[in-house]
Chain A
Amino acid sequence: MEVAQQEIETKPAQETVNITGSAAVLEALIAEGTDTIFGYPGGAIMPIYDALYDYNDRLNHILVRHEQGGIHAGQGYARTSGKVGVVFATSGPGATNLITGLADAQIDSTPLVCVTGQVFAHLLGTDAFQETDVINITTPVTKWNYQVTDANEIPEVMAKAFYIAKSGRPGPVLIDITKNAQIQLFDYKGYTPCNHIRSYRPKPIVRPQYIQEAADLINKAEKPFVLFGQGVLLGKAEAEFKAFVEKAGVPSAWTILGAGAIPTEHPLNVGMLGMHGNYGPNVLTNECDVLIAIGMRFDDRVTGRLDKYAKQAKVIHLDIDPAEIDKNVKSTVPVWGDCKETLPLLTALVEEKQHIEWLARFNDYTRQEVEAVIHNELNPTTDEMTMGEVLKELNALTNGDAVIVTDVGQHQMVACRYARFNQTRSNVTSGGLGTMGFALPAAIGAKYGAQDRTVVAIIGDGGFQMTCQELGTIMQSGVDVKIIILNNHFLGMVRQWQELFNQRRYSFVDIESPDFVALAAAYRIPGKSISERTDLQGALKEMLSTEGSFLLEVNVTKENNVFPMVPQGCSVSEIRLK
């Protein structure tokens, strides 16, 4: 192997070298600029791991404790770095353990290339040891997948995989490689990146006529309102977005995946949309005259009842994925295209404006929400701590510069609502799938994707126990992740629903936990558990100033609810403050 590797570097292009399929996989990763792989070995992917032994100086492999952890780490990496996450797993159980992460990445448009080992080609379809039909199982949860049975295919397939994963609307790609193809020696002609596939149109052409129509609507609007999602981040169009909203002077609200695309404190940032979003953005959705949706997909958690959603408004929808336009909300003007291209065109045509009165309406609602909800959440008068005040304290200490990775549940909604984001790519959360167990491994990946930033994972006591084995990954890799467990001794979000909608019939939401600090200690990770408000600031400071990872358990009020809330099946204007 050593020899082959040197030959690759020294031989001029065009000439061929004889290398294995496995080496070709790794060459592809290097050519694509991959620096970190998350994975777990096994029989069917052993040749690739064997090759990796020789590439150790150029490819950093992080051994996770479970393949689900591997793929969530890949997602965290992709989300903070803006690059493609790479994950390795073996056949059978290794591959099936990726499914949750694939589904999560698919719905949240996260670019990933997963490589799975597969049994020898001659054994396919025979129920061989650790054989599963990975291609069919992963079809609904991948943007593209492909099974390689011959090493000759590898360079081209890997190039396609990266191109598909990152272009257009990004997504996860899975390449399943039979063991024979990994071992097979073949004539390698070098790596050519892919930038064209006959049948694949990554993004639609921008139509000036629609840009013009959109600009006309915006210029005539009295109460325009922007809803922005992750499309802004995926398109790396934060600057273009800011220029647009500032020139048009439009109040803008975000979906949880769009958080951070413009700073929390920006005067035109009017808050979060959706079920646990802010009061104003939800209510005023049903009052605005022009709704400008940018890189968001009108998820039902955002829209509530569709038949009562923004019926009064003309809708302008900017999206790279034509299938999203008119899928849930009918648009008046569809602006197909990459918002990095469409936004500047739109900005050029819109008039400079300030919608002072309209913006004041949002601030009015904010005042009401502060009074009814936010003030108590951030400054509780009882002895017990709230999740919100932990976030408030954290904001103060990190200055809004940290990457916040959240799991799923009440703490997620609280973190998204209250965390301050000064920088883009700061909020890593499982949006569309709502995957408990996401945060701990995703935080590991997030740190590798943004090594110079502070990464804080905020996790519930329930979700932490779904993937807490990844503490082992932290221990072994030495990655620096700050972990905050907000322990309410309940599966809080489910308990909230049971309280509000099932007459407090608390069915299996009472969850016992281990001694989290002792558990961390078993993995040689320092930690602390606190229950008193007076300890909060000190403990957070200790956590942030500790070199390397730290686990902080904060015992919070057991039965607190996240408000406001748009109950399921209700219209956004029926949002409840309590």
Chain B
Amino acid sequence: MSQDIEKKEFNITIYTENQVGLLNRIAIIFTRRKINIDSLNTSPSEVDSIHRFNIVITESEEVVRKLTRQIEKQVEVLKVYYNTNEDIIWQELALYKVSTDVIAEKVSVERLLRENGARAVVIRKDYTVFETTGHREETDNLISILQPYGLIEFVRSARVAIIKNSEGFNTKLREFEQLQPGEEVMENEYLNKGQKVFTM
């Protein structure tokens, strides 16, 4: 089958109930299709009892759209969006632990901090911890600078992202909550916008 499928990074944003076991339900949707999750962040959202997932995968849009529909099908999922990197503002947080002695002796710390937008979070006798936030290239950059001076430990967070183009989920959620329990169904206007911001 000759199908030119262009894979690229997609950010999937999921709003869910705060429910035990849901992470597993969502993860299974990816593992079933043997899709690797590049980055996964989950945390409480601005709305009480609602969690927000941010998942990054590299796939074709076709596959991503199908995945988002499967995810949105889960009972405890309120809403799913998918976006390309151009559609979002995103950050990763990185922490670097280096020997205070070495760093004080051999590096111009001031320059280092300024040029890399970093800041010192902790300064102890034995080590110092720096922090940067940014895209992968930016946080990678500081690793290569610090590596020669004996980087003791490094950690990077999952990606957090905010969608440029959406009005945000907050208002939507308020609407959800206002809906009275009832026979008739509501919502779903998004099915029309399938190509852009997907959600059910």
Residues of A within 8 A of B (CB): 135-136, 139-140, 143-145, 147, 164, 195-205, 207, 307, 321-323, 326-327, 334, 336
Contact = CB atoms under 8 A, between A and B. Distances in A.
A326 B17 CA distance: 27
Contact of A199 (B66, B77, B181): B77
A267 B54 CA distance: 53
B155 interface: no
B187 interface: yes
A140 B74 CA distance: 11
Contacts of B192: 207
A223 to B, nearest CB: 27
B177 interface: yes
A233 B28 CA distance: 29
Contacts of B185: 201-205
Contacts of B183: 195
Interface string B121-162: 000000000000000000000000000000000000000000
Given A195-B182, A198-B78, 15 more contacts: A136-B21, A139-B21, A139-B24, A140-B32, A147-B20, A195-B181, A195-B183, A198-B17, A198-B176, A199-B76, A199-B78, A204-B188, A321-B73, A323-B69, A327-B69
A327 B72 CA distance: 14
B70 A323 contact: yes
B75 A205 contact: no
Contacts of A139: 21, 24-25, 28
Nearest to B188: A205
A235 to B, nearest CB: 14
B35 interface: no
Contacts of A195: 181-183
Interface in B18-74: 20-21, 24-25, 28, 32, 65-66, 69-70, 72-73
Chain B binding surface SS class: mixed
Contacts of B1: 307
A334 B75 contact: no
B12 to A, nearest CB: 15
Contact of B188 (A147, A196, A307, A336): A336
A437 B77 CA distance: 35
Nearest to B200: A322
A322 B16 CA distance: 18
Ranked 6 nearest A-B pairs via Cβ: A196-B181, A323-B69, A205-B188, A199-B78, A144-B75, A204-B188
A305 B48 CA distance: 48
B191 interface: yes
A201 B65 CA distance: 18
Contacts of B24: 136, 139
B187 A199 contact: no
Given A135-B21, A205-B187, A336-B191, A200 B75 contact: yes
Nearest to B27: A139
A198 B182 CA distance: 11
A199 B65 CA distance: 19
B171 to A, nearest CB: 15
Nearest to B31: A140
A323 B75 contact: no
21 contacts: A139-B21, A139-B24, A195-B181, A195-B182, A195-B183, A196-B181, A196-B182, A197-B75, A198-B17, A198-B78, A199-B75, A199-B76, A199-B77, A200-B76, A201-B185, A201-B187, A202-B185, A204-B185, A307-B1, A322-B69, A334-B191
A307 B70 CA distance: 23
Interface string B76-91: 1110000000000000
B186 interface: yes
Nearest to B179: A196
A207 B191 contact: yes
A4 to B, nearest CB: 29
Residue of B16, B25, B65, B177 ringed by the most chain A CB atoms within 10 A: B25
A204 B191 contact: yes
Contacts of B25: 139
Contacts of A199: 16-17, 75-78
Contacts of A322: 69, 72-73, 191, 200
A307 B3 CA distance: 10
A135 B177 CA distance: 28
A145 B19 CA distance: 11
A140 B70 CA distance: 12
Nearest to A160: B75
A399 to B, nearest CB: 38
Residue of B17, B24, B75 ringed by the most chain A CB atoms within 10 A: B75
B200 A140 contact: no
B191 to A, nearest CB: 6
Nearest to A145: B21
Contacts of B73: 321-323
Nearest to A341: B185
Nearest to A146: B21
B81 to A, nearest CB: 15
Contacts of A200: 75-76
A196 B28 CA distance: 26
